[in-house]
Amino acid sequence: MDLATTSLRAARTRADLRLAPGEQFLAGGTWWFSEPQPGVTGLVDLTTLGWEPVERVGDGLRVAATCTVEQLAAFPPDAAWTAWPLVDACMDALLMSFKVQGQATVGGNVALALPAGAMTSLLAALDAVAVVWTPDGGERREAVADLVVGAGRTTLAAGEVLRAFDVPPHALRARTAVRQVSLTAVGRSASLVVARRDADGTVTLTVTAATPHPVQHRFASAPTSAQVDGVLAGLEWFDDLHGAPDWRRAVTSLLAHEVVGEVTA
Ligand SMILES: Cc1cc2nc3c(=O)[nH]c(=O)nc-3n(C[C@H](O)[C@H](O)[C@H](O)COP(=O)(O)OP(=O)(O)OC[C@H]3O[C@@H](n4cnc5c(N)ncnc54)[C@H](O)[C@@H]3O)c2cc1C
């Protein structure tokens, strides 16, 4: 869809990120140009900042916010990154054609904060920390699991830009299991559940898509079935045309037990 009355400004430096009234940040544009955007009079293109899409930082990984889903999936992982198959699984969970995957960015997916945002699922499950540029020239860091606070809601304040996501080595080297379910064959995710077992025995359960925002719980060691049920019992279940809350609760329970069983077997 054309946004005919919208101006476009290419950001080259951080100073270009100061938004004028009515301006918003543009990344891949797959959402911006998918529906009318009343009130938006200008877009500031982040992709012209020239950020390296994916970089090794020590034993960990930095994913630029402007990295596309396709670029992330094409990155060659270290042999020690046993969690890497999660990237493909989460990419497949996105209801996108290959054309959208080539344009949609990881940062745009997180900033949009749809419950079915599978890059949010991936990064939250891997304990990734978002690096956020603040309008005063500063920087703050926040776990992706905490940054998305509801359907379409994040902690990003006006003018704040997602710069990158730092993925720690302990998560990349973990044992993981993932399950995803949709109401229809290639429908939007209704539940996406990841279990991760770290070298120290900690088990982390991350529930997304079924809940309005990511929910994460850490167990010091392999949890009992009752402990998993206990975590799920207190959750708020998302309700939209992609799945009713009681169904999401039922399938998430099944998937959570499966993934925990798989990483602790
Ligand atoms: C056919 C189709 C299927 C889709 N399926 C899914 C799906 O299954 N799950 C899903 O979650 N989404 C889906 N989407 C929605 C959307 O395309 C994706 O969420 C995509 O990842 C958004 O990224 P983008 O780079 O295109 O963002 P844009 O459209 O450029 O921007 C989206 C929002 O994020 C903000 N933003 C972007 N980058 C930053 C940044 N670095 N810092 C701060 N704010 C930023 C923008 O200001 C805007 O508010 C789909 C879209 C289409 C067209």
- Report pLDDT digits (tens) over 193-244: 999 999 999 999 999 999 999 999 999 999 999 999 999 998 999 999 999 9
Q: What is the pLDDT of residues 136-188, one digit of tens each?
A: 999 999 999 999 999 999 999 999 999 999 999 999 999 999 999 999 877 88
Q: For the chain, give every domain's residue range.
A: 7-44, 53-170, 174-264
Residue with CA closest to ligand 1 atom 16: 31
pTM as predicted? 0.96
User: Which atom in ligand 1 lies closest to the alpha carbon of residue 132?
Assistant: 42
Q: What is the pLDDT of residues 234-265, one digit of tens each?
A: 899 999 999 999 999 999 999 999 999 999 99
User: Which atom in ligand 1 lies closest to the alpha carbon of residue 114?
Assistant: 11
- In order, the DSSP letters of the chain are ---TT-EEEE--SGGGGPPPTTEEEESS-TTGGGS--TT--EEEESGGG---SEEEETTEEEEETT-BHHHHHHSPPPTT-TTTHHHHHHHHHS---HHHHTT-BHHHHHHHT-TT-HHHHHHHHTT-EEEEE-TTS-EEEEEHHHHEEETTEESPPTT-EEEEEEE-HHHHTSEEEEEEEESSTT--EEEEEEEEE-TTS-EEEEEESSSSS-EEEEESSPPPHHHHHHHHHTPPPP-BTTB-HHHHHHHHHHHHHHHHHHHH-
Distance 127 CA to ligand 1 centre (A): 21
Distance 112 CA to ligand 1 centre (A): 6
User: Which atom in ligand 1 lies closest to the alpha carbon of residue 68?
Assistant: 25
Distance 192 CA to ligand 1 centre (A): 18
Distance 222 CA to ligand 1 centre (A): 36
Architecture of domain 174-264: 2-Layer Sandwich (3.30)
Best CATH choice for the domain 53-170 from the list 3.90.1660.10, 3.30.465.10, 3.40.50.740, 3.40.190.10 = 3.30.465.10
